[in-house]
Amino acid sequence: MPWYYAVAERDHDIQDPTSAEKIRHLGRLLRLGPGSRVLDVACGKAGPALVLAEEFGCSILGVERAPEFVAAARERIEDAGLSDRIEIVEGDARAFPLDPESWDAALCLGASFVFDDLEGTLAALAPAVRPGGHVAVGEPYWREWPLPREVEDEGWVPMKETVARIESAGLALVGLVAASDDDWDRYESLHWSALEEWLAENPVDPDAIAIRERHEQARDDYLSFRRRLLGWAIFAGRKS
């Protein structure tokens, strides 16, 4: 059986509800330049890394666990002629050694679960950047609070509380790069089109029923409440 996300994110350039333009904006907020060393935790297919290395000439080390995404990332880096600037390490980012104050910027976009949650991610990454360096975390937040009784919070909090967690980690907020409805719709629609095409091409696959159920549940949740209630943003913090 193919891994669900390998099918669902087949067509995503960036595997989060954002855009290349917003990632370039993030790079400016992080003060990236040709001398910068950037760690990208759970880098996926290297979508953000490709944009940042191309625009700012920085060096990026991406850590990614899924072999499918590692292979795609390495191919894209080679095709873009950026092998001298981006390196991908395959493995569990949680186990990746983080030497103190060794990075100019550390990113974790859409993957704070690697360190359990946002607080765990900040506790892991803030010590790894130099004073004056930056941590950027892409994280969901609830747009409305309290939530309707039938909606579970899933560990996410409103934006103000998310920012308070970043400040508690010793980071001053220097940037907020939020997903628009268009970013969300594009991100979700790319899942739907890839999954529908895969299901049409693999109707008798033993996992087709399970994949359809998961796909339809995710789509229905998005349409019925997530699109309205769930935000996503990259929060950029500067370490003093």
Closest approach, Cβ 43 to ligand SAM, in A, equals 5
Q: Which of 69, 103, 198, 222 binds ligand SAM (CB under 6 A)?
A: 69
Q: Which of 94, 214, 219, 226 binds ligand SAM (CB under 6 A)?
A: 94
Closest approach, Cβ 78 to ligand SAM, in A, equals 18
Q: Which of 2, 37, 57, 66 binds ligand SAM (CB under 6 A)?
A: 66
DSSP per residue, 3-46: -HHHHHTTT-SSSSS--HHHHHHHHHHTT--TT-EEEEET-TTS
Question: Residue 94, Cβ neighbours under 10 Å: how many?
Answer: 16
Nearer to ligand SAM, 114 or 118 (CB): 114
Would you give the DSSP letter of residue 153?
A: -
Per rule CB under 6 A, count of chain residues that contact ligand SAM: 20
Site for ligand SAM in 12-41 (CB under 6 A): 14-16
SS3 content of the chain, % helix, strand, coil (to 5): 45, 25, 30
Beta strands in the chain (DSSP E): 37-41, 59-64, 86-90, 103-109, 129-142, 171-178, 230-239
Q: Which of 32, 53, 61, 93 binds ligand SAM (CB under 6 A)?
A: 93
- CA–CA distances in Å: residue 187 to residues 26, 51, 161, 196, 232: 18, 17, 25, 15, 12
194 is an interface residue for ligand SAM by CB under 6 A: no
Q: Which of 17, 27, 110, 140 binds ligand SAM (CB under 6 A)?
A: 110
- The residues that touch ligand SAM, with contacts defined as CB under 6 A, are 14-16, 42-44, 47-48, 63-66, 69, 92-94, 109-111, 114
